[in-house]
Every structure is written in structure tokens, then in C-alpha cells.
Amino acid sequence: MTNRLTRLASLAFGLGLLAQPLHAQLNLPELSPPTTIRQRIGFTDLTIGYSRPAAKGRTIFGGLVPYGKLWRTGASDATVLTLTDSVILAGKPLAAGSYSLFTIPNRTEWIVILNKHVTGHGLDGYEEKNDVMRFNVKVDSSTRFYESFTIEVQDLVRNQGMIYLNWANTSVHFPIISDADKRITGEILERINGKKEEKPGLYYQAALYYYDQEKDTKQALIWATKAVSLNPAFNYFHLQAKLLARSGDYKGAIAAARRSAEVAQREKFNDYVTLNNRLIAEWEKKL
């Protein structure tokens, strides 16, 4: 009798273990861990949330990810880009907001798609009618092997950069430009023409911005000349010289560069002396 009771107790204990498998599951890492990257471009904050599948020795493009078919561009939930300001993406205007990112990979070229439906899982909820834009990008070989799918924002210069999609030995990229020019230009014109601020640094920065962005050389030269008249600094003369040269006045550019070199030498900024002398030699050939 005792043995029978013991067997029944053991059986009940074993059935109890089988009856609660959910409570016994292990807590394991996600196969495609989610990540979020944040980057400021100009005045625009860009956020990209996506999941990162791994290659695990598999053929990725043309294999795991078939050519010519819509891909979620990651894993798990939709990859989502969020922008706080309007931008120019791959040469096309894009308003501030959140967009899901899809692609159609091919051997030499991908189609990149931004869509308004951002709460889907994988391809769930995707409809072409909700596409905001489509554009083509060429396929490159990546600089290294990417075991996990990786989105990067690189090559940042002032108000622009590049978005890279990398996995295994494949890479595609496209430019993103923050629409910062309107804001910067508006502030310049308001402070100079509206508020009538007579500050040499303001005139210099305004002229430098126009020079770097290749905007209205004539206006930039007026501001650079005003900056020099208020403060004859070597860097102000140097910018004035470059603007004169851009406008075709090489004689005036040489004179301004010589003034810049003189002040720089007096203040022991030898790099500017060398730079000005190099420009003078270059411009003298054009007289």
C-alpha cells in the first residue's frame, strides 16, 4: 500500500511539472535585438529604430532576402525613421514626421521606400498607396563584413550626411540634407537688415556661411568688407580675399591676402601666413 501511494505521489508531481511549461521557459536574448540610433543633422533630430538580424553563415541578399521582393529592412517590427524637421532625402523633399522604411533589394540596385504606416510587424499593414516616396540607390560592397544588419548615419558635414544600410558584404547609402538654410539665412537677414546689428563677428559669420554654401558672392563680399572695416582681423581679410577671387577680382584678392598675412605674422598665426602666400602665388598666375 505504501509503495502504491508513493508511486501515485510521484506521478502527480510529474504531471504537475508538465502542466506548467510556460512557467519553466528560459529567458533568452532576442535573436534580432532592437536598437535605436539618434543623430542631429543641421537643426534636425533624426531617430531610427530597427531590429538587427544576424547573418549566421547564410547567404543574405539573393538568399535569405530574395531579390526583387519587398523587405522589411531589418527584423521584427517595422524600421521607423522619425524627423523633427523637413529634410531633403535622396534629392526629394520629406516633411517632418515618422515613416517606416522598406526596400526592394536587387543585385545592382535597390528601391528604397518610405511609408506612412509605422505600427506594423514585418510587412503587416504595408500598402503601396501609403508610400510617401520611392527612389533607387546603387549597391556597393561594404568596407567590412557586417554580421548583423546595421544602419549608420555617417559623413556628417554641417547640415547634411549619409544614411548607410549594411549587411554582410553589401552596402547602400543615400544622402540626407537638413533644411537648415532657410532658418540660418532668415536669422542673418533679420539681424543685419532688421535689427541693424553692427557686429564684426556677425558680418564675418554671415559672409563665411554664404561663401561655404556658395550663395550670392556679391552679398557675401559686402558683409566681409564690412567686417574688415569694423575689425581688421587676419581671418576677416582672408575671407574677403577669397570672395574677391571668387568674384574675379584677383588684384583685390592679392591685396587682401597680403593684409591678412601681415596681421597673421604680427600675431604669430603662421598657418595663415603660409595659406595666404600660397593663394597669392596661385592668383598672381591669373593676372
pLDDT tens-digit readout, 52-74: 999 999 999 999 999 999 999 99
Cα four-point dihedral sign 227, 229, 230, 236 = positive
Query: What value does the mean pLDDT take over residues 138-143?
Result: 96
**Spatial separation of the C-alpha atoms in residues 56 and 209, rounded to whole Å:** 48
Q: List the domains of the chain with CATH numbers.
A: 34-179 (no CATH), 198-285 (1.25.40.10)
Q: Taking 90 as the threshold, does the pLDDT of residue 20 lie above it?
A: no
Full-model pTM = 0.71
What pLDDT score was predicted for residue 156?
A: 95
Task: Let me know if 218 is exposed, middle or buried by CB neighbors in 10 A (0-12, 13-18, 19+).
Answer: exposed
Three-state DSSP class for 278? Answer: helix
Burial 154-168 (b: 16+ CB within 10 A, else e): eeeeebbbebbbbbb
What is the DSSP secondary structure assignment for residue 78, as one 8-state letter?
A: P
**239 pLDDT more than 80:** yes
